[in-house]
């Protein structure tokens, strides 16, 4: 055993997420692969098993406490890195049709090893978000779009909202200090076809305050968006 699976099981249960033996064993294998690969490539600064449980696994799973995707919902994790929150969601909900997108190839190689070792299926997509968001195979195709630690909410909305289908949700995992970011992102969210439905605020054991803006896609995103990254940076949607 690499992690304390009982700690993970009870920590997830506090968020009303029931992890069975298969899920706990998959989380254990995931943690051990993360520690092993992290010695070769830089995947995460959190290297201790306890930190992996609380700051990666439970932090990612908390999303499912606020949002319940329907069976086989299409989910994309934008800038997934070492698989957070996407792979954690998939272990808890193996029915999800998950796409893991990242612009760094070696992180996707790690994720492919994780998926095959755990016996799980997901698409790994090596592309920049702003490029994938212009492709018909991905544009407005997803029931749920999520991301953690990728960008400020304004720019992240331009990366992510184009992926959401009408009626779908964009739910980025954010820190407690969301208010100035949210104020700055309001114009972008509405220009891109989103509407803030609610803002969940909560505390994670060992990790402090968190927030989860729940943004509904209420109208189609104009084909102008997402723009190339240089334009997103130079001319933010304000």
Please give the residue ranges that form the binding site for ligand SAM (CB under 6 A): 79-82, 84, 101-104, 107, 128-130, 148-150, 159, 229
Q: Is 20 left (phi over 0), alpha (psi -120 to 50) or beta?
A: beta
Angle 153-160/179-191 helices, nearest 10 degrees? 30
Least Å from the CB of residue 56 to ligand SAM: 7
Q: Which residue is nearest to ligand SAM (CB)?
A: 81
Please say which residue, 1 or 149, places its beta carbon nearer to ligand SAM. 149
Please say which residue, 28 or 102, places its beta carbon nearer to ligand SAM. 102
Least Å from the CB of residue 53 to ligand SAM: 14
Q: Angle CA(56)–CA(59)–CA(65) in degrees, nearest 5?
A: 145
What span, in angstroms and rounded, lies between the C-alpha atoms of 59 and 207? 8
Place of tokens 């249960």: 13
Please say which residue, 131 or 218, places its beta carbon nearer to ligand SAM. 131
Least Å from the CB of residue 146 to ligand SAM: 9
Please say which residue, 81 or 168, places its beta carbon nearer to ligand SAM. 81
Please say which residue, 159 or 163, places its beta carbon nearer to ligand SAM. 159
Contact present, 101 and 92 (Cβ < 8 Å): no
Least Å from the CB of residue 125 to ligand SAM: 9
Closest CA to 186 of 209, 162, 220, 152: 152
SS3 category, 181? helix
Least Å from the CB of residue 21 to ligand SAM: 26
Q: Angle CA(164)–CA(201)–CA(204) in degrees, nearest 5?
A: 105
């Amino acid at each position: 055993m690499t992690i304390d699976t009982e700690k993970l099981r009870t920590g997830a249960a506090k968020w009303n997420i029931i992890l069975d033996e298969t899920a706990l064993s998959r989380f254990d294998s995931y943690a051990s692969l993360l520690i092993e690969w992290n010695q070769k490539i830089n995947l995460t600064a959190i290297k201790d098993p306890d930190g992996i449980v609380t700051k990666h696994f439970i932090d990612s799973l908390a999303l499912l406490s606020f949002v319940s995707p329907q069976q086989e919902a299409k989910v994309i994790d934008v800038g997934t890195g070492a698989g957070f929150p996407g792979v954690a969601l998939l272990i808890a909900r193996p029915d999800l049709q998950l796409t893991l997108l990242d612009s760094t190839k070696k992180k996707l190689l790690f994720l492919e090893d994780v998926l095959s070792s755990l016996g799980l299926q997901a698409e790994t997509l090596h592309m920049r978000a702003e490029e994938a968001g212009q492709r018909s195979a991905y544009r407005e195709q997803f029931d749920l779009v999520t991301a953690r630690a990728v960008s400020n909410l304004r720019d992240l909305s331009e990366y992510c909202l184009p992926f959401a289908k009408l009626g779908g949700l964009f739910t980025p995992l954010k820190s407690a200090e969301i208010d100035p970011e949210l104020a700055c992102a309001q114009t972008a969210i509405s220009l891109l076809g989103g509407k803030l439905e609610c803002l969940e605020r909560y505390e994670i054991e060992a990790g402090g305050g968190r927030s989860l803006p729940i943004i509904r896609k209420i109208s189609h995103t104009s084909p102008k968006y997402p723009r190339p990254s240089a334009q997103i940076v130079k001319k933010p949607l304000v």
